[in-house]
């Protein structure tokens, strides 16, 4: 799967973001990382996806679904369901 098929909206200060990035990296899953602090369009997308909430990470998949602040187990289950891992 190419990194264009998963996008993570993140922030450097976010512990949950670091945890999700670590899991994706451990599983050798490619993704595009967008920092909502330096990219206003990314921040706007997070607000749109989360109904005005600035909750991150938001991980968007190529099938149009997303996870907000997923646990490692939920993220891994989603990657398995999409046959990414």
Element (H, E) at 60: strand 58-61
Q: Mean pLDDT in the chain? A: 94
- Starting at the edge strand found earlier in the chain, the sheet holding 6-10 runs 32-35, 6-10, 58-61, 66-68
| Bridging pattern class, strands 32-35 and 6-10 | parallel
pLDDT at 1: 45
Checking if the pLDDT of 72 tops 70, the result is yes
User: Above pLDDT 70, what percent of the chain?
Assistant: 95
Superfamily for the 3-81 domain: Glutaredoxin (3.40.30.10)
pLDDT digits (tens, 9 = 90+) for 7-23: 999 999 999 999 999 99
Question: Is 36 or 2 the better-scoring residue by pLDDT?
Answer: 36
What are the boundaries of each domain within the chain?
A: 3-81
pTM: 0.92
């Amino acid at each position: 799967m190419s990194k264009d098929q998963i996008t993570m909206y993140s922030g450097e200060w976010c512990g949950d973001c670091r945890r999700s990035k670590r899991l994706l990296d451990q599983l050798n899953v490619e993704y595009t990382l967008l920092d909502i602090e330096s990219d206003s369009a990314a921040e706007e997308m997070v607000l749109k996806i989360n109904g005005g909430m600035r909750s991150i990470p938001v991980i968007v998949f190529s099938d149009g679904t997303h996870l907000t602040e997923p646990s490692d187990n939920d993220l891994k289950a989603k990657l398995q369901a999409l046959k990414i891992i």
